[in-house]
Amino acid sequence: MILTCPSCQTRYNVNPDAMSPSGRVVRCAKCGHQWIEQPPRDMPLSVDLPAAVPLPPPQLTPHLREIRHATHAETGSRLLQDFFRRLRAKN
Ligand SMILES: [Zn+2]
């Protein structure tokens, strides 16, 4: 962006990144005039973005199958436990 000294009209090429959204005090190197330069209206405002969320793994199917297997195994062992418990109760 280009700044123009309001006192002596000297123009300066300034990196917009050096500007803060609330304006910045700049000093003319030629005449020493100081003024507060407001950032351009189209300057992008810095926004606090939430932390990046990790994406789920692209292949969900094998993972889901594993869970289903685990659930089946768990159910099976629970049935076995019940079976043995009933056996023990009978004796
Ligand atoms: Zn000046």
Distance in Å, CA 11 to ligand 1 centroid: 8
- What residue ranges in 1-91 does DSSP mark as E strands? 2-4, 11-13, 24-27, 34-37
Distance in Å, CA 78 to ligand 1 centroid: 85
* pLDDT at site 56: 72
Low-confidence ranges of the chain (pLDDT < 50): none
37 forms bridges with which residues in the sheet?
A: 24
Give kind and range of the element (H or E) at residue 62: helix 61-90
* pLDDT at site 35: 93
* pLDDT at site 23: 85
* pLDDT at site 8: 97
DSSP class of residue 48 equals -
* pLDDT at site 11: 95
Residues with CB under 5 A from ligand 1 (ion): 5, 7-8, 10, 28, 30-31, 33
Distance in Å, CA 46 to ligand 1 centroid: 30
